[in-house]
């Protein structure tokens, strides 16, 4: 779990370091596939999709609380299996990566942007994100899959006994 978290954190911070050094804040971009994908340097003081924009300090506290809650309740997340360790490592590393940004830059560095060009030159697309965001989403998705798989393995008699209690 720690190895996965450290790997995610290192990759996240390395990619953000490169973006911060190579692109101008809020205006810099490098088009990779025109009309589909580009690197940007956007700051997000909010949460996913910029919800709660401008609440960086509060969201930093929420991230610290989430890390502590996950750490102390990790035994509830199938953390003794390889899949559970990987999923928790992804989430821990992702939360830590974005938390470092909140303290270091007063915003989270987002730089991966998928989009389409519209008539008239405007864009429509998915909000910019980063390696940490990807790790968090992948880790949570993996937790759901593992939970669903484990639930499917429980014999019907055990399920009935639990529901009757």
Residues annotated as catalytic are: 110, 133
The kind and range of the H/E element at 57 are helix 56-72
Count of alpha carbons within 13 angstroms of residue 19, beta-carbon side = 29
Closest CA to 1 of 77, 104, 114, 79: 79
CA–CA distance, 88 with 72 (Å, rounded to integer): 12
**Nearest alpha-carbon partner for 47 in 115, 114, 94:** 94
Cβ atoms of residues 87 and 143 within 8 Å:
yes
Under a CB-based contact definition with an 8 Å cutoff, are residues 28 and 71 in contact?
A: no
Break the chain down into helix, strand, coil percent, rounded to 5. Answer: 60, 15, 20
């Amino acid at each position: 779990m720690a190895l996965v978290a450290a790997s995610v954190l290192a990759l996240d911070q390395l990619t953000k370091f490169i973006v911060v050094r190579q692109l101008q804040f809020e205006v810099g971009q490098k088009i990779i596939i025109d009309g589909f994908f580009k690197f940007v340097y956007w700051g997000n003081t909010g949460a996913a999709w910029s919800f709660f924009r401008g609440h960086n300090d509060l969201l930093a506290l929420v991230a610290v609380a989430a890390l502590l809650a996950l750490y102390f309740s990790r035994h509830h997340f199938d953390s003794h299996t390889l899949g559970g360790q990987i999923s928790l490592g992804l989430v821990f590393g992702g939360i830590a990566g974005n938390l470092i940004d909140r303290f270091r830059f007063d915003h989270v560095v987002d730089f991966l942007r998928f989009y389409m060009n519209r008539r008239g030159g405007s864009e429509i697309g998915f909000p910019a994100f980063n390696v940490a965001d990807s790790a968090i989403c992948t880790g949570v998705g993996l937790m759901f899959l593992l939970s669903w798989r484990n639930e499917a393995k429980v014999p019907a008699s055990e399920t009935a006994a639990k529901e009757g209690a």
